[in-house]
Amino acid sequence: MEITIKDVEYIANLARLKLSQEAKDEMSSDLKEILEYVDQLNEVNTEQVEPTAHVLSINNVLRKDIQKSSLSREAVLKVAPQASEEGFYKVPQIIE
Amino acid sequence: MKLNQLTAKELIVKIKQKEVSIKEVLDHVYTRIEETDDRVKGYLSLNKDEAYKKAENLQKIVGTEEEKSYPLLGVPIAVKDNMVIKGGEATCASRILKNFISPYNATVIDKIKESGAVVIGKTNLDEFAMGSSTENSSRQTTKNPWNLERTPGGSSGGAAAVIAADSTVLSLGSDTGGSIRQPAAFCGVVGMKPTYGRVSRYGLIAFASSLDQIGPLTKNVYDTALLLEVISGHDSKDSTSLDRPVPKYTEALGRDLKGKVVGIPKEYFDERIDKEVFSKVKEAIKVLEDLGVSLKEISLPHTKYAVATYYIIATAEASSNLARYDGVQYGHRSEDFENLIDMYKESRTQGFGKEVKRRIMLGTYVLSSGYYDAYYLKAQKVRSLIRKDFEDAFKTCDLIITPTTPTKAFKLGEKTSDPLEMYLTDICTTSANLAGIPGISVPCGFSSDNLPIGLQILGNYCEEESLLNLAFQYEQLAGVREKKPDLF
């Protein structure tokens, strides 16, 4: 089970993280150790077994599609790192 | 007499009989915090002004007809800093949520406020509840009041420590892989994880959505039952919450135990358990026999796979849940970045601590294309087998007994260099989260160097009454509670 630096860079990019060279080395060895440990699950025969995504037997809890009160725009934008006067989040340009 | 040393039950009597005022109670608690928290470091923030204001309003209710609707009237409660309170900080002990002020209340907060409890402060935790020692907090390291060089456990280390130190009367924590029960064991207090879905997760900052549960940390079992009554119940804002009536848990305490069968799973009593823990738990089992229950040796064959299963599922869910911290809507945004993606990367890299990054990376990996089947799907299948172990076991026994932790509280810094070593401290607790069943830790003795040891009792889904009843009667007979840490 090899976790190369390239693997670490690939995962970090997916996870939107930047790691220093030192951090990448450490991460590569940490992940390797943990993945080796969790590999023991391969000992378990799970051929006829259904996966459990949720312990409760409830599915798709729905409510009526009626508008209800929610947090005010003001309250929500108050905690934003950057908000515009018109009441939007400010972010770097997305579309060229 | 120091009011902060009382249990919630004792305090409520004194408040309702007008022996003490709610303000006085707060005075005693805040004094105790001043005296001890510079050493224990359990609290991240205190909200004295709000607390005293609440005390003033609540005092008007004392002695009126209304009093009956306030089961926790005037009781101080500390809340782990991953539950949101409107107008207050919720940091998850992370730099990424530094200074985050929540615009709303968690459902449990609404419930405890309506019950008359007074929130006195937010407690320290491992960052985003990821950890077993509270050493992963970006803010401070909480110490175990029984020995300040030792960990209080984690991730609800602060919530447990402040109960042990009598610098609160009640605490709320959260448990994803043992984060209430393990610190309860290390700190010599009572801590309980309810059945998954029993308590609303709305307003609990998510770590692993299929595992997280909020629960009480208290000085005795009665207080846990009382607090559980208040926080439990269906919530339309949490689609994973159980739509089942909430029993009066306090009324279950003391019911006849005749005919109850307690299972002793052999997989929890092997060489991985420290000798002193083993011997105290064995003593506790004798006490249970004295209570009239019958014991039965059982097997939970997939126990050894629980930690591996947990660390795949929990990290996968965490990588998804923590994707929202991107510097856009709340939390830390980097000052310098080149473009949008860079803003995400810089903000997250600056804001998250080492362990959080590690888990996000692991979670991302196990969910990534090409690996999903081998890891995540496989783990979900082993999870089904772990659940089935319990379902089968509960056909022949009512409750299950194990040690809460394999060791007593370890030294600060002892397990921080090897992540896997830290993860293995969860071997006794993670199965309950994977199966969704309730579990409680009660103090069952001390090691030769005066560190608490916890006994864990596990029950079937929604069998909190049975669980609390056994825990209560054990506690009464064993009398372990009488000791307090020598904190000056």
- Chain A residues near residue B343 by CB distance under 8 angstroms: 91-92
- Chain A residues near residue B100 by CB distance under 8 angstroms: 79
- Predicted local distance difference test score (pLDDT) of residue B311: 95
Of B343, B361, B375, the CB nearest to A27: B361
DSSP string, B236-266: TT-TTS---PPP-GGGGTT---TT-EEEEEG
Would strands B452-459 and B170-175 be described as parallel, antiparallel, or unpaired?
unpaired
Paired strand residues for B452:
B446
- Predicted local distance difference test score (pLDDT) of residue B480: 75
- Chain B residues near residue A94 by CB distance under 8 angstroms: 340
- Predicted local distance difference test score (pLDDT) of residue B79: 98
Q: Report the candidate in B177, B133, B130, B181 with the shortest Cα–Cα distance to residue B158.
A: B133
> Are B377 and A51 within 8 A, CB to CB?
yes
Question: Catalytic residue at B417?
Answer: no
Sheet holding B452-459, edge to edge: B43-46, B118-123, B76-80, B170-175, B213-218, B190-193, B439-446, B452-459, B399-403, B261-265, B294-298
Instruction: Give the active site residue among B138, B174, B179, B431.
Output: B179
Q: Would the pLDDT of A26 be above 70?
A: yes
Per-residue pLDDT tens digits for A33-69: 999 999 999 999 999 999 987 777 777 888 899 998 8
Beta strands in B404-447 (DSSP E): 439-446
> Are A52 and B380 within 8 A, CB to CB?
yes
> Are B312 and A93 within 8 A, CB to CB?
no
Question: Catalytic residue at B102?
Answer: no
B251 Cα to chain A: minimum distance (Å): 26
Question: Catalytic residue at B137?
Answer: no
> Are A81 and B337 within 8 A, CB to CB?
no
Instruction: Give the active site residue among B102, B132, B155, B447.
Output: B155
Residues of chain A with pLDDT > 70, as a percent, come to 99
Would strands B399-403 and B452-459 be described as parallel, antiparallel, or unpaired?
antiparallel
Q: Which residue of A has its CA nearest to B344?
A: A16
Cα dist from A18 to B19, B156, B221, whole Å: 59, 29, 46
Of B196, B357, B420, the CB nearest to A55: B196
Please tell me the pTM assigned to this model: 0.97
**A and B: number of Cβ contacts within 8 A:** 157
> Are B333 and A40 within 8 A, CB to CB?
no
Residue pair B438/B252 in contact (Cβ under 8 Å)? The answer is no
- Chain B residues near residue A91 by CB distance under 8 angstroms: 328, 340, 343
Take residue B431 and report the two structure tokens written for it: 């199965």
CA atoms of B59 and B70, how far apart (whole Å): 12
B350-353 CB contacts, 8 Å cutoff, 24+ apart: B350/B95, B350/B96, B351/B94, B351/B95, B351/B96, B351/B97, B351/B325, B351/B327, B352/A17, B352/B94, B352/B95, B352/B96, B352/B127, B352/B322, B352/B325, B353/B94, B353/B95, B353/B127, B353/B136, B353/B138
- Predicted local distance difference test score (pLDDT) of residue A41: 96
- Mean pLDDT by runs of 10 across the 488 residues of chain B is 94 97 98 97 97 98 96 98 97 97 97 98 98 97 98 98 98 98 98 98 97 98 98 96 96 95 96 94 95 96 97 97 97 95 97 98 94 94 97 98 98 93 94 98 96 98 97 92 72
- Predicted local distance difference test score (pLDDT) of residue A61: 87
Would you put residue B345 in left (φ > 0), alpha (ψ -120 to 50) or beta?
A: alpha
- Chain A residues near residue B102 by CB distance under 8 angstroms: 79
Take residue B325 and report the two structure tokens written for it: 């911290």
- Predicted local distance difference test score (pLDDT) of residue B488: 61
Number of Cβ within a 10 Å radius of residue B457? 26
